[in-house]
């Protein structure tokens, strides 16, 4: 069993910071917003993006999957009452010569073994697609 530890604190009225290991991340917790930091919803989407990209890295050697680049684009839709993300869509973009079947296999493995993906899937409509970059 793995355990994760993160701490967060208010820096001032314009933002906060989160710490994990030796990393520090500035958070947008200002009521007016700030362009130089991720707000909580964006941070959740970024966590999902990191999970997807890490999943690709993890399954590439297992599947003997060859690629030259990979990226992911996410879109979250928030409802107001009660406030929650009701839908997250993402597109996995892969620069590869692998077949369409192998692209689908990559996506299925990322979805099946992703910690953040599997945590969010029961709580929010989560729709992912894969295509060539």
pLDDT tens profile 16-72: 999 999 999 999 999 999 999 999 999 999 999 999 999 999 999 999 999 999 999
pLDDT of residue 132: 96
CATH class as words, domain 40-132: alpha beta
| Mean pLDDT within 82-104 | 97
Q: Alpha-carbon distance 119 to 32, whole Å? A: 30
Residue of 123, 131, 120 whose CA lies nearest to 51: 120
DSSP 121: T
Task: Enumerate residues 6+ apart whose C-beta is below 8 A from 27.
Answer: 8, 15, 16, 17, 18, 37, 38, 39, 40, 43
Bridge partners for 10 per DSSP: 16
| Mean pLDDT within 96-117 | 97
The helix or strand, by DSSP H or E, that contains position 60, with its residue range, turns out to be helix 40-63
21 φ, ψ to 5°?
55, -125
Write down the domain spans for the chain: 1-37, 40-132
| Mean pLDDT within 5-26 | 96
Other CB atoms closer than 10 Å to residue 115's CB: what's the count? 13
pLDDT of residue 45: 98
Average pLDDT of the chain to the nearest whole number: 97
pLDDT of residue 56: 98
Residue of 50, 27, 25 whose CA lies nearest to 117: 50
Angle between helices 40-63 and 100-113 (to 10 degrees): 120
pLDDT of residue 99: 97
């Amino acid at each position: 069993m793995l355990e994760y530890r993160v701490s967060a604190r208010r820096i001032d009225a314009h933002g906060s910071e989160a710490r994990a290991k030796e990393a520090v991340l500035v958070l947008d917790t200002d009521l007016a917003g700030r362009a130089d930091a991720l707000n909580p919803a964006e941070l959740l989407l970024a966590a999902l993006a990191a999970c997807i990209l890490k999943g690709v890295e993890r399954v590439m050697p297992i599947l003997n999957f060859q690629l030259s680049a990979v990226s992911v684009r996410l879109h979250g839709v928030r409802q107001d009452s009660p406030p929650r993300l009701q839908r997250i869509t993402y597109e996995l973009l892969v620069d590869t010569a692998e077949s369409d079947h192998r692209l689908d296999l990559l996506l299925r493995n990322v979805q099946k073994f992703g910690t953040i993906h599997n945590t969010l899937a029961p709580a929010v409509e989560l729709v992912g697609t894969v295509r060539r970059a």
